[in-house]
Chain A
Amino acid sequence: MLLLIIFVLTSIAYVVGRSRAATLRKNGEQLHSLPRYYGYLTAIYTAVPALLLLAIWSASEPTFLKQSTVKTLPAEVQSLPQGQLDLVLNDIKNIATGGITQTADDPLREASAKHYNDRKNTSQLLKSIVVLVASILGALYGLRKIGIHTRARVFVERAMMTVLIACSCIAIFTTVGIVLSVLFESLRFFNKVPFTEFAFGLHWSPQTSIRADQVGSSGSFGAVPIFAGTLLISAIAMLVAVPFGLMSAIYLAEYASSNVRAWAKPLLEILAGIPTVVYGFFAALTVAPLVRDIFEGVGFEDVASESALAAGLVMGIMIIPFVSSLSDDVITAVPQAMRDGSLGLGATKSETIKRVVIPAALPGIVGAILLAVSRAIGETMIVVMAAGLAANLTINPLEAVTTVTVQIVTLLTGDQAFDSPKTLVAFALGLMLFITTLILNVIALVVVRKYREQYE
């Protein structure tokens, strides 16, 4: 509501500011900018301080309300610890807003709730007044500023630039946030478990004591089997995705008629758009039993129902469109002159593709594959649903392995006690995951960029 009023006021300020400037201009004043900019200027003065006030008020209002309400409560309640006080307040607020409560008949609480409501109403009223006054004052100030000396356009544009720059900083903030959120916890983990054990230990068994007297209650945090498992599944995925993706891209870019291309490309992209949880469901319920039946039919024994193969296959299929669309881009970026040169020498189309187009596009394709690898490593839902939890150190794709992402999910939602190293190791794994993908991504991006420059 208040926001709406501010919006209306801002619009009015804009119109008034503009017309005022227009009048001045008509009267022969040499204004620096177009009237419209004076309108914007006034609008900014109207809205920004008011909104700022509103935000600050709204943010601090609960605290004031709380303190004021707490004062109405009996002393023994007031001296309760913070958490309990919050609960009481929650109850009071529930009463006040007419929500479902259990203590509605408690007169003391009722009184507090009334007090709370009164204060809240007063506060809202005051807030409205203050904000409106601020916005009107702002508007007046803005209107006064209209004149020859004000370079409205510069001001407005500078304000806009500030907003734009602020927005583009969010990406940096996100990265910083990620690093901070995983780094501290990881450091705490490495204080308890030496990094060398984490990085080179061959035994992963993070079940530190479900009960205190449990064996191996110290847990062992050798991350090698997890990373090996991740690599195994990713490798299987890439074995599926690279040939299929690349060949699809080649076919679409070089052979397919434009009609086929127009249909096949969006269809392939659907494959990329299917949520990973759907793939996970499909992998667990359809592909994994199929893989097991097939291999046991052929005479393999001990095919895990959650074989790395099943998860890897499905993940590979998920990544096909990723590889194909990136490769398609780089293949079509190879200049036609290259193809002409080769065809003109009497090469067949496939020879041209194999010997000229692909080598020329290779850096770009490698970049695409690296990005795909990083995606495979970070993929979560498919492996959570279809891969195992057993940290086997194996290269047999028919066995169950576990991955970094699976471990993060199970460690943070698992059944074991949630103390010390175990939660922390999830963050350490997250950090490793972030660093690994970061390195892959940066290499891939540099490679791709270099490649693009080559033909631009």
Chain B
Amino acid sequence: MNAQEKLNTTEVVRGSLKRRYAREKRFRLFGLAAITASLTFLAVLLITITVRGLPAFKQTFIQLEVTLDSKTLGVGENPDINELRKANYNGAIKKSLTALFPDVKKRKDKKALYKLVSKGGQYDLQKRVMADPSLIGETLKVWLPVGDDTNSYIQGNIDSSLPEKKRRFKDNQIQWVDQLTEDKQIQRRFNSTFFERGDSREPEMAGIKGSLFGSMLTLMVTLLLSFPVAVATAIYLEEFAPKNRWTDIIEVNINNLAAVPSIVFGLLGLAIFINFFSLPRSAPIVGGLVLSLMTLPTIIISARAALKSVPPSIRDAALGVGASKLQVVFHHVLPLAMPGILTGTIIGMAQALGETAPLLMIGMVAFIVDVPTSLTDPATVLPVQIYQWADLPEKGFVEKTSAAIMVLLAFLIVMNAVAVYLRRKFERKW
């Protein structure tokens, strides 16, 4: 190769450098853009949901002076518990509202006036009276939750400058509420109802306690069933299984199950647990069974990875001093792999917590007010609750849905964070 040729090479390369570096820069920017876009989307999603959901954590209350005379309530003297339960508390509330605004005479206007207070207000009264029947005959100053529309007006979601026809909150209602606000009879407080009650058809009375408990019961079943089985399976496959067709089939099976659509597990649950074994519908135990079958492969795979990462030298060392294979596994390998297995389990549980589709198939899309306490009580779970709320016509449920999503995401993020933390803390380079 002569000098001329060499010079050529240098020149050719130098000539193309600018173009190549531009390409390099572009490529790098693409990468950065891709990851930024993904993270931006995450941010947009979280922000949208937070902005939508945040108002739901506050609830507007209205102060009323309610006279609980037995005539309005429609109870006799010394009413028994059933009578108290059925009493007409709504009537008492209506009366006190009319007393506040005595000018309201027309039926239509009265109806609008009554709408200021939530339908759930009567149950608050009911609870108080049932706890203390001596309240009958007294006049109480109580704070009651306001109705859905009133709430969104006070939150500023209703534009009062629009023509009356175009808003759900009418002029006279606005006037009343403004007056009440001036009299300091309207207050915004932390919405404890949201965490203390089950589902309800009135957005201002709806809470997530029922679905949260449902989720917990379901997850408990899932954890109790899937964790031991998954660890046992992982140990068998990783440490003991002979390499033959049978174990190969098991292995392919597990990997495949991890990628089978979750709704197919729902079909399985419907056909086997509900139709064949006639377990009750909508029960956390069935949900737990289905979800544990679903999370099993996830945990098995991560448990196997964790076991595999324990170096053979440790096994050899233990075998070398005369431990049996089982002892090696249970004394040395398993403890070392435990953080990895736990990480996988947490991630599997997080997956199960957020899962909806299979539960639709086994009757967990249900309206359930009572908080479930046992594994066979009807229950729903948080994501299904979100799904249900998203479909309801009442406007107030939009923010409730977002708030429920926030709670769910908070759980998931905490779980994931714990998993990441565990992974970092116990990450070992052998």
Chain A residues engaging chain B, CB cutoff 8 angstroms: 153, 157, 160-161, 163-165, 167-172, 174-175, 177-178, 180-182, 185, 243-248, 250-252, 254-256, 264, 266-271, 273-278, 280-282, 284-286, 317, 320-321, 324, 346, 348-351, 353-354, 371, 374-375, 377-381, 384-385, 405, 408-409, 412-413, 426-427, 430, 433-434, 437-438, 440-442, 444-445
Q: Are the CB atoms of A385 and B254 closer together than 8 Å? A: no
Residues of A contacting B125 with CB < 8 Å?
none
Within 8 A of A (CB), among B265-283: 265, 267-268, 270-272
Residues of A contacting B412 with CB < 8 Å?
270, 273-275
Q: Which residue of B lies closest to A372 (CB)?
A: B259
Chain B interface size band reads 35 or more
Name the distance in Å between B363's Cβ and chain A's nearest Cβ: 9
B111 part of interface (Cβ distance < 8 Å): no
Instruction: Given the known inter-chain contacts A181-B267, A251-B35, A266-B416, please indicate yes or no for A380 contacting B28, CB distance below 8 A.
Output: no
Q: What 5 A-B pairs come out closest when comparing CB atoms?
A: A378-B261, A275-B354, A251-B31, A181-B271, A247-B34
Residues of A contacting B33 with CB < 8 Å?
247
Residues of A contacting B236 with CB < 8 Å?
161, 164-165, 167-168
Residues of A contacting B233 with CB < 8 Å?
164, 167-168, 170-171
Q: Which residue of A lies closest to B351 (CB)?
A: A273
Residues of B contacting A350 with CB < 8 Å?
23-24, 26-28
11 A-B residue pairings within 8 Å (CB atoms): A170-B296, A177-B268, A247-B33, A247-B35, A271-B38, A277-B384, A350-B26, A351-B24, A378-B263, A409-B360, A441-B255
Q: Are the CB atoms of A181 and B272 closer together than 8 Å? A: yes
Q: Are the CB atoms of B361 and A412 closer together than 8 Å? A: yes
> For the complex, what is the distance from the CA of A324 to the CA of B31, rounded to whole Å?
11
Q: Are the CB atoms of B48 and A282 closer together than 8 Å? A: yes
Instruction: Given the known inter-chain contacts A247-B34, A248-B31, please indicate yes or no for A380 contacting B357, CB distance below 8 A.
Output: yes
Q: Which residue of B lies closest to A381 (CB)?
A: B356
Residues of A contacting B409 with CB < 8 Å?
274, 278
User: Which of B64-72, B153-161, B245-253 is the contact stretch?
Assistant: B245-253
B81 part of interface (Cβ distance < 8 Å): no
Name the distance in Å between B396's Cβ and chain A's nearest Cβ: 15
Residues of B contacting A434 with CB < 8 Å?
260-261, 264
Q: Are the CB atoms of B232 and A405 closer together than 8 Å? A: no
Chain B residues engaging chain A, CB cutoff 8 angstroms: 13, 20-21, 23-24, 26-28, 30-35, 37-39, 41-42, 45, 48-49, 228-230, 232-233, 235-237, 240-241, 249-250, 252-257, 259-265, 267-268, 270-272, 293, 296-297, 300, 324-326, 347, 350-351, 353-357, 360-361, 365, 383-384, 386-387, 390, 398, 401-402, 405, 408-409, 412-413, 415-417, 420
Name the distance in Å between A199's Cβ and chain B's nearest Cβ: 19
Residues of B contacting A445 with CB < 8 Å?
252, 255-256
Q: Which residue of A lies closest to B424 (CB)?
A: A262
Chain A at the B interface: SS class: helix
Instruction: Given the known inter-chain contacts A244-B34, A275-B354, please indicate yes or no for A433 contacting B49, CB distance below 8 A.
Output: no
Q: Are the CB atoms of A182 and B267 closer together than 8 Å? A: yes
- Among B30, B34, B42, B402, which residue has its beta carbon within 8 angstroms of that of A270? B42
Residues of A contacting B264 with CB < 8 Å?
178, 182, 378, 430, 433-434, 437
Q: Are the CB atoms of B271 and A185 closer together than 8 Å? A: yes
Residues of A contacting B38 with CB < 8 Å?
244, 248, 268, 271, 317, 320-321, 324
- Among B13, B48, B413, which residue has its beta carbon within 8 angstroms of that of A286? B48
Q: Are the CB atoms of B386 and A277 closer together than 8 Å? A: yes
Residues of A contacting B383 with CB < 8 Å?
275, 277-278
Q: Are the CB atoms of B260 and A277 closer together than 8 Å? A: no
- Among B32, B255, B326, B357, which residue has its beta carbon within 8 angstroms of that of A157? B326
Q: Are the CB atoms of A160 and B263 closer together than 8 Å? A: no
Name the distance in Å between A206's Cβ and chain B's nearest Cβ: 17
> For the complex, what is the distance from the CA of A251 to the CA of B33, rounded to whole Å?
9
- Among A164, A273, A444, which residue has its beta carbon within 8 angstroms of that of B235? A164
Instruction: Given the known inter-chain contacts A168-B233, A244-B37, A427-B267, please indicate yes or no for A275 contacting B260, CB distance below 8 A.
Output: no
Instruction: Given the known inter-chain contacts A354-B27, A378-B263, please indicate yes or no for A405 contacting B357, CB distance below 8 A.
Output: yes
Name the distance in Å between A248's Cβ and chain B's nearest Cβ: 4
Name the distance in Å between B217's Cβ and chain A's nearest Cβ: 18
Q: Are the CB atoms of A408 and B263 closer together than 8 Å? A: yes
Q: Which residue of B lies closest to A276 (CB)?
A: B356
Q: Which residue of A lies closest to B23 (CB)?
A: A350
Q: Are the CB atoms of B390 and A284 closer together than 8 Å? A: yes
Residues of B contacting A353 with CB < 8 Å?
27
Name 7 extra pairs, CB < 8 A, besides A177-B293, A268-B38: A171-B296, A248-B34, A278-B386, A348-B24, A380-B262, A409-B361, A445-B255
Q: Are the CB atoms of B13 and A346 closer together than 8 Å? A: yes
> For the complex, what is the distance from the CA of A103 to the CA of B401, rounded to whole Å?
41
> For the complex, what is the distance from the CA of A438 to the CA of B258, rounded to whole Å?
11
Name the distance in Å between A34's Cβ and chain B's nearest Cβ: 9
Q: Are the CB atoms of B261 and A437 closer together than 8 Å? A: yes
Q: Are the CB atoms of B268 and A178 closer together than 8 Å? A: yes
Q: Are the CB atoms of A380 and B261 closer together than 8 Å? A: yes
Q: Are the CB atoms of A282 and B232 closer together than 8 Å? A: no
Instruction: Given the known inter-chain contacts A170-B229, A445-B256, please indicate yes or no for A385 contacting B297, CB distance below 8 A.
Output: no
Q: Are the CB atoms of A278 and B254 closer together than 8 Å? A: no
Residues of B contacting A164 with CB < 8 Å?
232-233, 235-236, 240
Instruction: Given the known inter-chain contacts A247-B31, A278-B386, A348-B20, please indicate yes or no for A438 contacting B350, CB distance below 8 A.
Output: no
